[in-house]
Chains A and B, each alone.
Chain A
Amino acid sequence: MLNEQEINKIIKIVKLEAQIILENGGETYRVEDTVMRICRSFGLIDVEPVVIPTGMFITISHDNLATHTIIKRVRRRTVNLSKIDAANLISRQLTTGRISLDEAIIQLEQIIGDKSKPKILTATASALSAGFFTLLFNGSLFDFFIAALCGAVIQLFSFLLQGEDMSNFIISLTGGIFTAVIAITATQIFNMGNMDLIISGAIMPLLPGLAMTNAIRDTIQGDLVSGVARGTEAIIVAIAIAVGVGVVLKTLILMGGGLN
């Protein structure tokens, strides 16, 4: 039989788990699933989690004890697959009884507090990813280096905006602008390389692949609200990138330069 203290610990764990998974790019049904699993493993059968991309409502009832409800607003959403994986591991260990409630709380708080995302590594990854996409589109070695430059610049700029509310949209828009400006400038100055391949390679890491996939997965799973929300996010981000690139191309045309 669970006492009030244990219930409170479980509620705290559930809240932290849900927050980590949702903030770092997990699907809403995964959050609900994790919450149910943890609660069931402690004999709490009467659990109702409702999770949407911007927040969650979880009610846990138990015989003889008060009903508990958690409402949590999630504002900051990024993609950090390592954190989802770590939270997943903790819930697995907890439900199979390999770690105690206290240990789980400590570990989950560590994951939330972990802000270290090595900047140089991330910028390099962004650069090389953009570069290899350009090569995949049949670009030359010159295109590879220019696309890598675009990828690095986008990532360095996104560090400046980290934590801002509108960052996702602004990064996509400015990412498109930076990419197009760098690609056009470089191909004009050196008079070589393929501007089209550089731009399309460099915008690949920005494209909302995760949001799009999650949108369809959520919709088919029956989470219609999440599906629509994620779908809108994906469309808006894709449009932001395209508009960023488009503005620069249009300026080039108006200034008298042609597109090949």
Chain B
Amino acid sequence: MTIFTNFFYSFMASLFFALLFNAPKRSLPVTAAIAGIGYVVFILITQNLGSKPLGFFLATLIMGLLCEIAARVLKMTTTTFVTIAVIPLVPGLGIYRTMQFIVQNNYEAAVQIGIPTLLAAGTIALAIAISTFAVKLFLHFWQQ
């Protein structure tokens, strides 16, 4: 897949995901665009540096920062953006594969896939938290 198709698919997937959670209309294009950009960043880092955890971390961090900016520019809550935008990165395939190996009684493979999946989920959540507090810290010192 090219960069553009990656961007397009994650844009569309997040757009409809946002509609599913009844996100405000005004936020839709912005959230979807952030989701697309983040996913492309993830693909680029994974392909060029060969590290998935780093990809998850940096891509989510960038998305988190973009969401914080979008929330302040559009005067909406950060939750509106961030919960939708990170969805393409959530390791659905990993969760499925883990289960697939468990039902095949192949526990070794299940652990091999399961642990990185769990770590990916943790990394995403942590990167969002870090971006939130980085912005808070920045604003705190900026205002002084």
Taking a contact as CB atoms under 8 Å apart, the answer to whether B16 and A84 are in contact is no
Taking a contact as CB atoms under 8 Å apart, the answer to whether B103 and A246 are in contact is yes
Tell me how many residues of A have a C-beta within 8 Å of chain B: 57
**Residues in B neighbouring A83, C-beta threshold 8 A:** 22
Taking a contact as CB atoms under 8 Å apart, the answer to whether A81 and B22 are in contact is yes
A10 within 8 A of B: no
Q: Which of A127, A216, A249 contacts B128 (CB 8 A)?
A: A216
Most buried by B among A84, A213, A259: A213
Q: Which of A25, A92, A210, A212 contacts B121 (CB 8 A)?
A: A212
Taking a contact as CB atoms under 8 Å apart, the answer to whether B16 and A128 are in contact is yes
Taking the closest CB of chain A, its distance from the CB of B104, in whole angstroms, is 6
Taking the closest CB of chain B, its distance from the CB of A36, in whole angstroms, is 16
Give 1 or 0 for each of A247-260: 1 = CB within 8 Å of chain B CB. 00110010000010
Given contacts A27-B79, A85-B77, contact A246 B20 (CB under 8 A): no
Which residues 113-150 of A have a CB within 8 angstroms of B?
Answer: 117, 121-122, 124-129, 132-133, 135-138
Which residues 88-128 of B have a CB within 8 angstroms of A?
Answer: 88, 90, 92-93, 95-100, 102-104, 121-122, 124-126, 128
CA distance A79 to B17 in the complex (A): 12
CA distance A30 to B83 in the complex (A): 15
Tell me which of A46-54, A62-70, A193-201 binds B. Answer: A193-201
Q: Which of A25, A121, A133, A196 contacts B88 (CB 8 A)?
A: A133
Taking the closest CB of chain B, its distance from the CB of A209, in whole angstroms, is 5
A22 within 8 A of B: no
Taking a contact as CB atoms under 8 Å apart, the answer to whether A135 and B9 are in contact is yes
**Residues in A neighbouring B87, C-beta threshold 8 A:** 204, 207, 209
Given contacts A26-B77, A84-B77, contact A220 B24 (CB under 8 A): no
Q: Which of B83, B99, B122 contacts A246 (CB 8 A)?
A: B99
Taking a contact as CB atoms under 8 Å apart, the answer to whether B125 and A196 are in contact is no
Q: Which of A92, A129, A207, A246 contacts B102 (CB 8 A)?
A: A246
CA distance A133 to B17 in the complex (A): 10
A232 within 8 A of B: no
Taking a contact as CB atoms under 8 Å apart, the answer to whether A213 and B77 are in contact is no
Tell me how many residues of B have a C-beta within 8 Å of chain A: 50
Taking a contact as CB atoms under 8 Å apart, the answer to whether B83 and A209 are in contact is yes
**Residues in A neighbouring B82, C-beta threshold 8 A:** 213
B59 within 8 A of A: no
Taking the closest CB of chain B, its distance from the CB of A15, in whole angstroms, is 19
Q: Which of B9, B10, B92 contacts A200 (CB 8 A)?
A: B92
Taking the closest CB of chain A, its distance from the CB of B70, in whole angstroms, is 13
**Residues in A neighbouring B129, C-beta threshold 8 A:** 216-217, 220
CA distance A209 to B79 in the complex (A): 12
Question: Contact residues of B with A, CB < 8 Å?
Answer: 1, 6, 9-10, 12-14, 16-24, 27, 39, 75-77, 79-80, 82-84, 86-88, 90, 92-93, 95-100, 102-104, 121-122, 124-126, 128-129, 132-133
Question: Contact residues of A with B, CB < 8 Å?
Answer: 25-27, 30, 79-85, 88, 92, 117, 121-122, 124-129, 132-133, 135-138, 155, 196-197, 199-201, 203-205, 207, 209-210, 212-217, 220, 238, 241-243, 245-246, 249-250, 253, 259
In the complex, 23 of the A-B residue pairs with CB atoms within 8 angstroms, ordered by the A residue number, are A25-B83, A79-B21, A80-B22, A81-B83, A84-B80, A85-B27, A88-B76, A92-B75, A126-B16, A129-B16, A129-B17, A132-B9, A133-B92, A136-B13, A136-B39, A205-B20, A207-B92, A210-B21, A213-B82, A213-B128, A220-B129, A243-B99, A259-B100
